[in-house]
Amino acid sequence: MPFIVTNDSRKELFREDKLLTAQELQSSTIVEEEKQMKYAFGEARYRELYFDGLHIGYGRAKVYENLHIAAEMPESPTLVSLHFVLQGHFIAHLPGRSGCHYYALEHNLVYNPELLEAAEIKKQDGIEMVGLSLTKERFLELAENNGDVLNRLGERVAGNKLVFLNRYGNQPITHSMLRVLDEIRHCQFQGGIKKLFLQSKVLELLALQCEQYERSAPGGRLQAVTPLSATDRDKIYHARELLLGAVQQPPSLRELSRQAGLNEFKLKTGFKKVFDNTVFGYLNDYRLEQARELLLQQQHTPISAIAEELGYSSPQHFCNAFRKKFGVSPGKSRRTDG
């Protein structure tokens, strides 16, 4: 079975019969492909690069109706994949592990030995992801004698078992991870230097994932992180959706806790546990990431209008916050990256 997209009525909307093979993935030179698609059910722009057992893909899409994706890849290599969701939400279904939710600014590492995957993507304005994958063999080379986290993962990958970096749920994307993801997407190098640069960034992200997981374990030991109850976790995610849905006029902490059905203490501690940030620290980071994208996408929109759209009390307040986070003013960021 190839890569197939259907709707809620199970009507086939899209089919891709040719998927990446193991031989193609081992190319000694970088192969780059950019795809732009526009259909009645959605539109997407996607870029992928592959070489030396590495695959890098990133892109964004708009989804106009609920979609169901199924893929069986008998000719494809088994891959260890680092998933980073920058915007949007989807649900992955893997053999023996159904209903894995991915939300904006979350990541995980996954190894699926079955070469059978499915996903659900609900209707939404925007979904943006970065995926980095290594062949099983390449990952096992890296895992050997490179720390307890990678040793543990390597043992399970070598045994062809379903693997998650954190089996209890995804972890929040950190500022350091966002920086590296940005460097990958805006890499200006060419040829062999580009290969070297991208390899180093994939390894850096893997190291950041492992370091974050180690810190999340009590006492720095590799113990299972005690999860929130499923009900409370759902309420924390609901609180985030409420918060990001009211960027211009966010609710107070008291109002947000009431809307989410949690007391303030549980909201604050649970939010910090799930997203590694305070409620309003998370909102501030989200606003500024959105601002940077708008500055690039809307070159002629006044900075004051972007500040107002994202709920800043004044352009000066916005400029100060932007400079504090990114080290440059909004205007300079637009000139540098545009």
Query: Tens digits of per-residue pLDDT, 304-328?
Result: 888 888 888 888 888 888 888 888 8
Amino acid sitting at position 209:
Q
Average pLDDT over residues 134-151: 87
Sheet with strand 67-72: strands edge to edge: 12-16, 3-6, 67-72, 116-121, 89-94, 97-103
- Rounded to an integer, the average pLDDT of 31-53 is 96
The answer on 236 and 150 residing in a single domain is no
Percent of the chain past pLDDT 90, that is, above it, reads 54
Pairing mode, strands 97-103 and 42-51: unpaired
Quote the pLDDT of residue 223.
40
Q: Look at the alpha carbons of 194, 134, 181, 18 in this order and tell me if their dihedral is positive or negative.
A: positive
- On whether both 73 and 165 belong to a single domain, the answer is yes
Query: Do 236 and 216 sit in the same domain of this protein?
Result: no
Angle in degrees, CA 317, 309, 259, rounded to 5: 95
Residues contacting residue 145 through CB under 8 Å, at least 6 positions apart: 151
Predicted local distance difference test score (pLDDT) of residue 224: 39
Question: Closest by alpha carbon to 286, among 176, 173, 170, 205?
Answer: 173
Q: How confident is the model at residue 225 (pLDDT cuts 50, 70, 90)?
A: very low
Rounded Cα distance between 10 and 310, Å, is 38
State which residues form the domain around 111.
3-220
pLDDT at position 336: 60
Same domain, 258 and 302: no
pLDDT tens for residues 79-135?
999 999 999 999 999 887 778 999 999 999 999 998 788 999 999 999 999 999 999
The tokens for 261 are 């059905």
DSSP 8-state assignment for residue 186: T
The rounded distance, in Å, linking the Cα atoms of 154 and 142 is: 9
**Structure confidence at residue 98 (pLDDT):** 72
User: What is the band of 59 on the pLDDT scale with cuts at 50, 70, 90?
Assistant: very high
User: Hey, which residues does 130 pair with through a beta bridge?
Assistant: 58, 84
Residues 239 and 130 in one domain: no
Residues 134 and 244 grouped into a single domain: no
Reading the block at residue 314, the tokens are 């004044």
What's the CATH code of the domain at 57? 2.60.120.10
Cβ count near 107 (within 10 Å): 25
As for how many domains the chain has, the answer is: 3
pLDDT digits (tens, 9 = 90+) for 169-204: 899 999 999 999 999 999 999 999 999 999 999 999
d(CA 139, CA 195): 17
Q: Which residues pair with 107 in a beta bridge?
A: 84, 171
Containing H/E element for 45? strand 42-51
Same domain (yes/no): 130, 232: no
Q: Do 324 and 256 lie in a common domain?
A: no
Q: CA-to-CA distance for 71 and 3, rounded, in angstroms?
A: 4
Residues 81 and 31 in one domain: yes
pLDDT in tens, 251-281: 999 899 999 998 876 788 789 888 888 999 9
Q: Are residues 38 and 182 in the same domain?
A: yes
CB 202 within 8 A of CB 132: yes
Question: Under DSSP, is residue 166 helix (H, G, I), strand (E, B) or coil?
Answer: coil
